[in-house]
Structure 1
Amino acid sequence: MRRILLTGWFSLREGEVTAGDVLALRRVQELLARAGLAYDTAWSPGYADEALHLEDVRPQMYSDLLFVCGPLHGPQVERLHRRFDRCRRIAVGTSVLDPADPAVTGFHRVLARDAPGAAPVLDLSLSAPPVAPAPVVGVILTHGQREYGGRRRHEEVADTVTRWLGGLDCAPVELETRLDSRDWRLCTTADQFQSLLPRLDCVVTDRLHGLVLALRAGTPALAVDPVVGGAKVTAQARACDWPALVPAERLDAAELDRWWGWCLSYGRETARHRRRAFLAGPPEDGADGLLDALDALVTRLGD
């Protein structure tokens, strides 16, 4: 019976899994399913613990081995030829650096995306079946704020939040409110940072400005106050009349799930409403009393 084993750099213990590899793989899986051909996919144990791994595969169970995407070179690819020597071996959507390399010549057929002396063809990832986009979430966390002393739970909060995020179907983007003109990974100006936030579906943060700048952009924020008893994050959530706030004392996956669902549903319009309110007129942010305070100070000093 014909059964195909799908492999690639995403299968190799010392390889890596890239988004392009996975999309190319989906294209091949779609073609095989449409043709009614049975297949299994081998994954690197460093990426997928519970999946099928090459170490567990019995080569005699397969008639064909397909190597999908990536460059054909190196001892890991050569070992596949030796181990699956009784299988028909095909490479598809791959790059050929040296046509004489044993990693290349070990295949019965190579359908390359690029090779010396050959016209390039489109990468397989371009034709992968479309899927619904995942929410894009900005993650703004802090490990500082030593001024809160024994009330600090910043490390515990960051650990719980990041482990929870790792289990979500979302596209996380780590952000930093700190500006730096010498580090290309950080925004140089506040306007640059503010330009990021409207492009996000949600912000997850334990920072005051992560919360308020998200709402200023009309983006829902799932805020966690990392200080026991509540501090400035709680105060600003209250001032902004924003409900998606989790105290450090009640932080767990269930509470995060609840507010995550709210942020991606009702929270979208609520955040847009907050933005419209902020832009409609001068808010009660304490600036109104600044001139009076300055005048009173000048008067007192003058006396």
Structure 2
Amino acid sequence: MYEDTTAVMLRLLRGPDGDPARVLVTGWFSFQDGEATAGDVLAERHASDALTAAGIRHDTAWSRGFRPGALSLETVRPEAYDTLLFVCGPVHGPQVAALHARFGACRRLAAGVSVVDPADPAATGFHEIVARDGTPAPARHDLAATATIGPLPPVAGVVLTHGQGEYGARRRHEEVNTRITAWLAGKDCARVQADTRLAVDDWRLCTTAEQFLALLRRFDLVVTTRLHGLVLALRTGTPVIAVDPVAGGAKVSAQARAVHWPALVDAGELSEQLLDRWWRWALSEPGRTAAARHATR
């Protein structure tokens, strides 16, 4: 009978002596110079939820670069655990191998992982491996595929300008961009940087105006310091927060007034409170309706 990854993981965790006393959940998201991908984090969530549902006490070690202040491999006490669980990613390389030395007194299990080289000490150091690929056993589903997720946040297109030297001493571009991006970093949203510049020799840029419009149309809102970020977002019916990076206002402000678009912020009045106000409005029904009216012009 085929067992899914989670069922096999729990069965092996329990071992011959019953449930473990305490499990430390680790992965590439635990290493200081590793990385935390969306798949890694969802795999950890799936494993953690499964352990909780099974009544197994556990903690998770996070990279201090990703979650400052959380339990980390640098601060954890190996003697506090009898089992180490490694989830997601390849069981390969010196960082994974070092776990076996440090947690030598623990029973060590890997689940939902890729086995690149079965002879690698990183792989041979585990007592049990529930692989998603790389072994003779049938491929198993990735743990991230069935992890619990919350409501999906809005997608924000970010269209910023960095040049415009013609404005001389009135330029506030660097300061405005720094404040906007710092504010956006604290918003629960998916941020997508977009550039109005077209090119035929750079796959990251759109080649035609229609391609750029197609991109804008798929955003829930746009935050921009560019005139055409404002104009073209409204052309697609996408709400936009326009910030004029020129002291006293220039073409962004003039265009917002020309089309009677209210979500305009002057460089001299830029604040998180004002940005938050327009953010709420842009994502509200009145904001979406106002943008839709521009698309039908």
Q: TM-score, normalised by structure 1?
A: 0.89
Q: Offset at 1:198?
A: 1.4
User: Which of 19, 26, 51 is 2:45 aligned to?
Assistant: 26
What is the count of residue pairs matched by the alignment? 277
* Unmatched 5+ stretches in structure 2: 1-19
* Matching residue of 2:185: 166
After TM superposition, what 4+ stretches of structure 1 lie above 4 angstroms from structure 2?
A: none
Once the 2 structures are TM-superposed, how far is the Cα of residue 159 of structure 1 from its aligned partner?
0.5
- Percent identity over the alignment? 60
Structure 1 letter corresponding to 2:195: E
* Deviation by residue 1:206-262 (Cα, 9 ceiling, x = unmatched): 000001111110100011000010111111111111111111001121211111111
Larger of the two Rg values belongs to structure:
1
Counterpart residue number, 2:125: 106
* Structure 1 counterpart of 2:295, one-letter code: R
Q: Which amino acid aligns with 2:234?
A: L
Say whether 1:214 aligns with 2:233: yes
| Structure 1 residue 119, shift from structure 2 partner | 2.1
Matched, 1:198 2:198: no
CA distance in 1, matches of 2:136, 2:195: 46
Q: Who is 1:272 aligned against?
A: 292
Distance 1:248 1:219 in 2: 22
Q: CA deviation at 1:50?
A: 2.2
- Structural RMSD (CA): 1.2
What secondary structure, in the 3-state scheme, does the structure 2 residue paired with 1:90 have?
A: strand
Question: What is the aligned partner in structure 2 of residue 74 from structure 1?
Answer: 93
Name the SS for the 1:54 alignment partner: coil
The 1-side partners of 2:268 and 2:68 are apart by 32
- Which of the numbers 87, 91, 96 marks the counterpart of 2:106? 87
2:35 alignment counterpart: 16
Q: Tell me the TM-score normalized by structure 2.
A: 0.91
The aligned amino acid for 1:250 is E
1: CA distance, partners of 2:225 / 2:28? 37
* Equivalent position SS for 1:57: coil
- AA matched with 1:267: G
Equivalent residue number for residue 206 of structure 2: 187
In 2: Cα distance, 1:167 partner to 1:204 partner: 14
Q: Which runs of 5+ in 1 are unaligned?
A: 279-303
1:45 and 1:205 map into 2 onto residues whose CA distance is 32
Q: Give the 3-state SS of the residue equivalent to 2:71 in structure 1.
A: coil
Tell me if 1:124 matches 2:143: yes
2:155 matched to which residue of 1? 136
Structure 1 distance, partners of 2:242, 2:45, is 36
